[in-house]
Amino acid sequence: MKGELAMLKKTVFVTILVFLSTIVLLACAGDNKPAEMALKAAEEAVNTARTEAVKYVPDQMQSLEDSLAAVKDKFAKKEYQAVITEAKDLAGKAKEVLEAAKLKKEEMTASWTNLSQELPKMVETMQGKVDLLAKSKKLPADLTTEKFDEAKAGLAAVKEEWAKAMESFNAGRVADAVNSANAIKEKATRTMGILGLAAPAAESAAAPAPAAETPAPAAAEPAAAAVETKDGADKGDKTQWLQNALNQLGADPKLTVDGRFGPATRRAVMKFQTTAGIPADGKAGPATEAAIKEKLAKVR
C-alpha cells in the first residue's frame, strides 16, 4: 500500500511538471488562463507534498507555502508570465521537498529501531536494581532514601512515557515518537546514574537486530509446515519463519522473506504485539512466538 502511494505521488509530480512545461510553450502575454492553470497545478504539487513534509521537514514545507502565496499574489496582480515561470519552479521544489521528507522519515525510523532496542534494556536494568535495593535492609552509602525515591519515580515516568511513545509510533507519528524516545532516554540515563548504573552502549543502526532463539515445537503443537523451523536452524531461518508467519497473519505491507530482522520486520512484530495485547517492544521473544503460533493454529 505504501509503495503504491509513493508511486502515485511520483506519477502526480511527473504529470504536473509535463503539464506546466506545455503551458509555458502555449502561454501568451496578457492571457490569464494559462497562468490560472499553472497556479492550480503548482498548488496541487504543494498539496501532494504537504502530508509527509509537514511532519518531517516543516521548515522546508513552510518555505514552500510562502512561495505558493507569493505566486498567488503575482496572479492577483495580473503578472501572468511570472506566475507561469514561478509555478513551474514551485512544482519542482515541491517534488524535492517530498523527497527530503521521505529521507528524513527513513532516518527517523532507523533511530526508532535503535531506541526501541536500547530503552527496554535500560528499563529492565533499572527495574532489577530497584527490586534488589527494595529487598535490602540498608541502602548503599552513596544512595539516600530521597535519591532512591527519586529513582523509583523516574523509572515509573520512563515506563509511562515509553508506552505513549510506542503508541505514537504505532499510529504512524514517527517524528513525535522519536522525539519523545530521545527525551525518555535522557531521563532514563539520569535515573540510571542515581542508581549507580551505566547506560548501555547504543547499537549500530546498520546492524540488524538479532532474532530471538526459537525453541523446537513441542509434539502437541499443531503442525505448521509453511512457517515452522527445524532443530538447529540458524537465526536467518528463524527470522524467515517469523516473516512467513506474519505474512500469513495479514502483515501490511507484506514482508520480504529474506531472513533479515530489519526495520520493516520489527514494525510488523510491534503491530502484531499491539493487537495481541503483548508489550510492543519489537522483539520476537517466547511470548510473541507463542501468540503467533496460537493465531496460526486458528487461521488453519
Give tens-digit pLDDT for 268-293: 888 887 778 777 777 888 889 988 99
Answer yes or no: are the C-beta atoms of 136 and 201 closer than 8 Å: no
Q: Given pLDDT bands bounded at 50, 70 and 90, which one contains residue 153?
A: very high
In this structure, is residue 63 part of a structural domain? yes
Given a cut of 60, whether residue 205 has pLDDT beyond it is no
* Pairwise CA distance, residues 254 & 268, whole Å: 9
Once rounded to an integer, what is the mean pLDDT over residues 238-252? 89
Provide the grid cell at 265: 520486520
Query: Are 113 and 167 part of one and the same domain?
Result: yes
Q: Name the burial class of residue 132, with classes exposed (0-12), middle (13-18) and buried (19+) by CB atoms within 10 angstroms of its CB.
A: exposed
We report the CATH number of the domain holding residue 242 as 1.10.101.10
Instruction: Give pLDDT, residue 206.
Output: 37
Answer yes or no: are the C-beta atoms of 263 and 109 closer than 8 Å: yes
Helix (H) or strand (E) holding 87: helix 80-135
Of 49, 73, 103, which residue constitutes the final position of a domain? 103
Query: Are 266 and 191 part of one and the same domain?
Result: no
In this structure, is residue 6 part of a structural domain? no
Domains: count for the chain: 3
pTM of this structure: 0.53
Given a cut of 80, whether residue 227 has pLDDT beyond it is no
* Pairwise CA distance, residues 20 & 7, whole Å: 20
Please identify which residue in the block is written with the cell numbers 511527473: 14
Instruction: Give pLDDT, residue 25.
Output: 45
Q: What are phi and psi of 77, to 5 degrees?
A: -90, 5
Once rounded to an integer, what is the mean pLDDT over residues 217-223? 36
Q: What is the dihedral of CA 224, 230, 231, 235, to 10 degrees?
A: -110
Q: Name the burial class of residue 34, with classes exposed (0-12), middle (13-18) and buried (19+) by CB atoms within 10 angstroms of its CB.
A: buried
Instruction: Give pLDDT, residue 9.
Output: 54
Instruction: Give pLDDT, residue 30.
Output: 53
| pLDDT one-digit tens code per residue, 22-47 | 444 444 445 689 999 999 999 999 99
Instruction: Give pLDDT, residue 212.
Output: 38
In this structure, is residue 154 part of a structural domain? yes
Instruction: Give pLDDT, residue 158.
Output: 97
In this structure, is residue 225 part of a structural domain? no
Q: SS3 for 154-207, per residue?
A: HHHHHHHHHHHHHHHHHCCCHHHHHHHHHHHHHHHHHHHHHCCCCCCCCCCCCC
In this structure, is residue 212 part of a structural domain? no
Instruction: Give pLDDT, residue 178.
Output: 95
Q: Residue 147's domain spans which residues? A: 107-195
Query: Are 113 and 99 part of one and the same domain?
Result: no
* Amino acid (1-letter code) at residue 6: A
Query: Are 180 and 115 part of one and the same domain?
Result: yes
Rounded percentage of the chain residues whose pLDDT exceeds 70:
78
* Pairwise CA distance, residues 168 & 166, whole Å: 5
Query: Are 247 and 179 part of one and the same domain?
Result: no
In this structure, is residue 77 part of a structural domain? yes
* Pairwise CA distance, residues 263 & 179, whole Å: 18
Given a cut of 50, whether residue 183 has pLDDT beyond it is yes
pLDDT higher at 264 or 14: 264
* Amino acid (1-letter code) at residue 182: N
* Pairwise CA distance, residues 49 & 199, whole Å: 39
Answer yes or no: are the C-beta atoms of 46 and 63 closer than 8 Å: no
In this structure, is residue 260 part of a structural domain? yes
Query: Are 111 and 177 part of one and the same domain?
Result: yes
Cα angle 49, 53, 55 (rounded to 5 degrees) comes to 140
